A and B are shown apart, each in its own frame.
Chain A
Amino acid sequence: MTDIAPPRFELARFERLSASSFLGYALGLVIIFWCLAGAGFSLEKVASAPPRFADFAARAFPPNLDPQVLSRLGWKMVETLQIAVAGAVIGVILSVPVALLAAKGLIAGPWVNQIVRTALSFIRAVPDIAWALVFVVAVGLGPFAGMLAIVIDTIGFCGRFFADDMEATDKGPAESLTATGARKLDVVACATIPGSLPAFISTSLFALEKAVRSSTILGLVGAGGIGIELKVGFDLFDYPTAMTVIMMIAVVVIGIEQLSGWARTKIIGEQR
């Protein structure tokens, strides 16, 4: 190896912090500790949790595999999926016109864009379980309230992302159609939406996964689905049945994620 002459200039390995940077890092640390204190963080509780968890696991295992219980839970899970699929499909369909109004430069003016985007932000800011509580009050206990909660939650999610997808899509085809005198609606239908379709499909599949996860807990507030069985299991200290519910939810959610990933690759992966 040849000798390398020392360079005329050398760069320090670590930069010296400026006073403002030091204050910034210090403030960040203070905020983190403040949040941990607010969250009741306790090393003592962390240390005592494993024995308690082991006690729960010992009382929950083996899960309740009684055929009658499995049949009852199975039908509840079917209801859960029905809530999720119906809510997600209606939500995705309604999201398209909402997104058209939210997307800049398509069919609506900037004021309408801003108003619709603010409404979508509000929908997303309210958690799905809160929407379920609202709809339980509005339409009564049961799966319909849960489905409506999923619909509104899906509109908040897909409406925003569909709008972003349409804004980001290649403007070339739209310009070519505009240049030949096509109306805005025709341009959107023939160029913008088909161009955004792969992104729409991907977002819709994520919305379905999200809906399935949400629908499993909506039962906690009486909005249908398997969540009510989980609540009853814990309330009655019937941990084996509660464990069966947890395992069923895990299997179904993982299964839907796998199916969604396969469908995404199959549908979107086909295009070059």
Chain B
Amino acid sequence: MSARCTPTQASLSSIVSSVTDLLLESQTASAVPSEQTGATFAPVSPVDIEARALAKRFGETQIFSDVSFRLARGEAVALVGANGTGKSTLLRCLMGLIPTSAGSVHLLGQQPNEATGGELRKIRAQVGLVSQKHNLVPRLSVLSNVVHGLLGQHPGLRHWSHSLAPQSSRDAAMQALERVGLAGFASRRADRLSGGQSQRVAIARAIVGGPKVLFADEPCASLDPSAGEDVMELFFRLVRDEDVTVVFTSHNIEHALKYGDRVLGLAQGRIQLDATAASLSSADLRGLYD
């Protein structure tokens, strides 16, 4: 914690300790020390993501440092913080898309930064990403875009287009589109969809391979409030039943509290808040933006 704490940040700090206490109460015999808090606790479910003393700097600019947390299987975690606090950078570090400057990441039991190219692809094949901008390939059909979500598990020419894909992959992609309510749009070009529809296709692409972990980087930031709400509802309805671990970033405090089981708050380059969503109020989160 910074030496110059505001009253709100001080209250956030007390929330961190209270959550740690709660976790300590529920610890099991096989407890593991936590590097951030110094306390010992262990989630009951397997740990899907673990960050240990993670730091990232771009040149001379320190984005964040000493970031440590563990996320259990099936947990939905909201990562909140003001612009420039490094939420998106942290997500990319967790996925191994960019290297960390210090510390380590364990994703599904393996370290992306230590893995070889082949190992990294195997880890990522169990992961999905939904970005702020849907990131669909504009000139390709909706179905081809969803089939591309299987490339991690089935590399090669046959998954470059829905026309070449095996029937099983086409069926999986169509089922994913049905789940997001867009089966009727399978043959439409991706750049002919509305923003909300595009984001739903991006969700279908992310879930088509049955990922164990889903990352969502401000999934409704580019949508109007109504479409954003629909997308978040759909996203969490789909992943809740599948025991998928979800990490999402959001500037929407209500979304963080409504859809997250737990909230991690980034401020001043560190985790300043780690609490269950149920124990927080909107005012607690607004403190992160002061």
Interface residues of A (CB under 8 A from B): 170, 172-173, 175-183, 186-187, 189-191, 194-195, 197-198, 271-272
Contacts and interface: CB of A to CB of B under 8 A. Distances in A.
A175 B148 contact: no
Contacts of B148: 177, 182, 190-191
A176 B215 CA distance: 11
A194 B161 CA distance: 11
B137 A191 contact: yes
Contact of A180 (B133, B149, B157, B191): B149
A268 to B, nearest CB: 10
Nearest to B209: A180
Contacts of B127: 179-181
30 contacts: A170-B135, A173-B136, A175-B129, A176-B131, A176-B202, A178-B97, A179-B95, A179-B97, A180-B125, A180-B127, A180-B129, A180-B151, A180-B206, A180-B211, A181-B120, A181-B127, A181-B151, A181-B152, A182-B148, A182-B155, A183-B121, A183-B151, A186-B151, A186-B155, A186-B160, A187-B151, A190-B151, A195-B139, A271-B138, A271-B139
The dominant DSSP class at the A interface is: helix
Contacts of B209: 180
Contact of A182 (B123, B139, B151, B215): B151
Contact of B139 (A172, A181, A189, A194): A194
A192 to B, nearest CB: 9
Contacts of B129: 175-176, 179-180
A176 B133 CA distance: 10
Given A178-B97, A181-B124, A182-B155, A173 B137 contact: yes
Contacts of A175: 97, 129, 131, 135
A268 B131 CA distance: 26
A89 to B, nearest CB: 21
B153 interface: yes
B140 A194 contact: yes
B160 A190 contact: yes
Given A175-B97, A176-B205, A190 B125 contact: no
B106 interface: no
Contacts, number: 89
Interface of B: 95, 97, 120-129, 131, 133, 135-140, 144, 148-149, 151-153, 155-157, 159-160, 191-192, 202, 205-206, 209, 211, 215
A198 B152 CA distance: 27
A194 B135 CA distance: 13
Contacts of A187: 151
A178 B124 contact: yes
A198 B137 CA distance: 12
A195 B152 contact: no
Nearest first, the 5 A-B pairs at minimum CB distance are A181-B152, A181-B124, A181-B125, A172-B135, A182-B151
Contacts of B151: 177, 180-183, 186-187, 190
Contacts of B135: 170, 172-173, 175-176
B215 to A, nearest CB: 7
A194 B139 CA distance: 7
A246 B161 CA distance: 47
A65 to B, nearest CB: 47
B152 A172 contact: no
A131 to B, nearest CB: 34
Given A177-B151, A180-B127, A190 B121 contact: no
A181 B137 contact: no
A44 B148 CA distance: 69
Contacts of A197: 139
A100 B140 CA distance: 20
Contacts of A189: 157, 160
A173 B140 CA distance: 12
A21 to B, nearest CB: 35
A181 B123 contact: yes
Contacts of A183: 121, 151, 155
A184 to B, nearest CB: 9
B131 A181 contact: no
Contacts of B121: 181-183
Contacts of B123: 181
